[in-house]
Amino acid sequence: DAGVIQSPRHEVTEMGQEVTLRCKPISGHDYLFWYRQTMMRGLELLIYFNNNVPIDDSGMPEDRFSAKMPNASFSTLKIQPSEPRDSAVYFCASSGGLAGGPTDTQYFGPGTRLTVL
């Protein structure tokens, strides 16, 4: 398996622009997570999905952030409009199997490093 795939790996944009980050989970995994990593706040969970349905979006910073999962193999995280404080590394992770079972482990993608000027 290719693992969790994220694109783009790097994104530089100007304040006010729309940014879309993409994620392809590991095939067969039914959970998908979006995390943000910054120096100040560390790794934070933004939102996660189960079977394409958002389960917990309490970590989404504000209305400028939105996430979708139109099918089992694709998810997007959109920021509109972007601001300099959104600069961070955004990770996608996926997991599957029964909770607490041997395959219940989150596998992380390589991340997207976002810089908003």
Partner 1 sequence: AQSVSQHNHHVILSEAASLELGCNYSYGGTVNLFWYVQYPGQHLQLLLKYFSGDPLVKGIKGFEAEFIKSKFSFNLRKPSVQWSDTAEYFCASRGQGRRALTFGSGTRLQVQP
Enumerate binding residues for partner 1 (CB under 8 A): 31, 33, 42-45, 48, 50, 55-56, 91, 93, 95, 99-100, 104-111
Burial of 23 (0-12, 13-18, 19+ CB in 10 A): buried
Nearer to partner 1, 6 or 82 (CB): 6
Nearest approach in angstroms of CB 108 to partner 1 is 4
Nearest approach in angstroms of CB 76 to partner 1 is 19
Nearer to partner 1, 33 or 116 (CB): 33
Closest of 5, 24, 9, 6 to residue 70, by C-alpha: 24
Nearest approach in angstroms of CB 103 to partner 1 is 11
- 84-108: b (≥16 Cβ within 10 Å) or e: eebbbebbbbbbbeeeeeeeeebbe
Nearer to partner 1, 109 or 116 (CB): 109
3-class secondary structure, 3 = coil
Positions of E strands within 14-56: 19-24, 31-38, 42-50, 53-56
Nearest approach in angstroms of CB 61 to partner 1 is 16
Nearer to partner 1, 45 or 72 (CB): 45
